[in-house]
């Protein structure tokens, strides 16, 4: 497969009457959610093969997620259902300009019960790239499972990507998350941070400082997304700024996931694994960054994280080069 995504799969409830606070919304629409699950859908829509590794509830909403992801072409054979917790829910309120606020219903939700037994080494080894978020890692066993998965991916030479997608309000002890990032980042080929995540994640205050900090950890392609300002990437010692195209913003939910899915799909068209990243030239990386910004902008023009994820005909570009080198 091209990309294996690991971590949270949730149900997002989106308002049918946006522009109100959660308590004032009169009707909601359920949609697949969870950053890694969104990336898996994004890769599949662009024509790649993707899979989701994680845990959902043995309940109707868990069935909903498995069915919707499978309907998008995502392999859900390793998306386990459990009776230990219910499928997590997030209610997303949208203000003017598409900015979001969240109401989480995820206390001991199923996603947190990821365990080392869920990490099927033979299945993981089939992927060119592995990708994770961090919001399913509240329990120590889940953190051990994810760190082990990424250590093994690094040892096999796979492309490993982390987008922390920070939701610090759900962490009783945010220091545990920072410790986990300190273990994950050195195993990664790609790390994507939003601008408001760089200080917590790296201790730096500027995008340039964050990129340098990640480079010191051995990350080959660190990225900071800048919203309407595009993205700043670092590759082979060069800083590459790519602008974001103008967008009629409806909802910014999932824009980062659109960026990551397009970037990873483009990388897996060119690279069999981490070693092949070194064969890319900065011009290719800049081109992929620009396409990823276009994907993110398209997501912002639709309500919800998944509805706006583009399909290949909607995002023309050099996606279909022969895989590998």
Buried b (16+ CB within 10 A) or exposed e, 145-172: bbbebbebbbeeebbbbbbbbbbeebbe
**Active-site residue (options: 2, 257, 276, 281):** 257
Tokens of 165: 């997608």
**Is 257 an annotated catalytic residue?**
yes
Contact 154, 27 (CB under 8 A): no
DSSP state of 186: G
What is the C-alpha separation between 187 and 300, in angstroms, rounded?
Answer: 31
Task: Please report how many Cα atoms fall inside a 13 Å half-sphere around the Cα of residue 179, on the Cβ side.
Answer: 10
Give how far Cα 35 sits from Cα of 32, 133, 215, 272, Å. Answer: 10, 6, 24, 24
Cα–Cα distance, 24 to 2 (Å, whole number): 42
- Please state, in angstroms and rounded to a whole number, the distance separating the CA atoms of residues 184 and 191: 10
In our burial notation (b when 16+ CB lie closer than 10 A, e otherwise), range 202-214 reads bebeebeebbebb
**What is the rounded distance in angstroms from the CA atom of residue 7 to the CA atom of residue 17?**
30
User: Known catalytic residues?
Assistant: 257
């Amino acid at each position: 497969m091209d990309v294996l995504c690991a971590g949270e799969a949730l149900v997002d409830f989106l308002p049918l009457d946006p522009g109100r606070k959660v308590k004032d919304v009169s009707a909601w629409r359920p949609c697949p959610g969870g950053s890694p699950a969104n990336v898996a859908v994004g890769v599949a829509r662009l024509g790649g093969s993707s899979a989701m590794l994680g845990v959902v509830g043995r309940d109707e909403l868990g069935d909903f997620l498995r069915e919707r992801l499978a309907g998008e072409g995502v392999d859900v054979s390793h998306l386990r259902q459990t009776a230990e917790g219910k499928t997590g829910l997030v209610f997303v309120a949208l203000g003017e300009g598409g900015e979001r606020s969240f109401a989480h219903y995820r206390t001991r939700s199923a996603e947190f019960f990821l365990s080392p037994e869920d990490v099927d080494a033979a299945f993981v080894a089939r992927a060119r790239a592995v990708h994770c978020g961090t919001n399913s890692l509240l329990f120590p066993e889940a953190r051990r499972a994810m760190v082990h998965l990424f250590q093994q991916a690094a040892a096999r030479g796979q492309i490993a990507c982390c987008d922390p997608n920070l939701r610090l309000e759900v962490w009783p002890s945010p220091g545990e998350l920072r410790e986990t990032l300190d273990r994950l980042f050195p195993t990664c080929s790609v790390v994507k941070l939003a601008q408001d995540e760089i200080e917590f994640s790296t201790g730096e205050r500027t995008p340039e400082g964050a990129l340098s900090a990640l480079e010191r950890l051995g990350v080959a392609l660190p990225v900071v997304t800048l919203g309407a300002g595009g993205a700043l990437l670092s590759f082979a010692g060069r800083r590459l700024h790519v602008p974001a195209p103008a967008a009629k913003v409806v909802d910014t939910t999932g824009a980062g996931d659109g960026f990551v899915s397009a970037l990873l799909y483009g990388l897996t068209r060119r690279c069999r694994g981490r070693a092949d990243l070194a064969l890319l030239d900065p011009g290719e990386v800049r081109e992929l960054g620009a396409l990823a910004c276009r994907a993110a902008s398209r997501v912002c023009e639709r309500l919800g994280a998944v509805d706006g994820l583009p399909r290949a005909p909607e995002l023309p570009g050099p996606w279909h080069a022969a895989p590998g080198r």
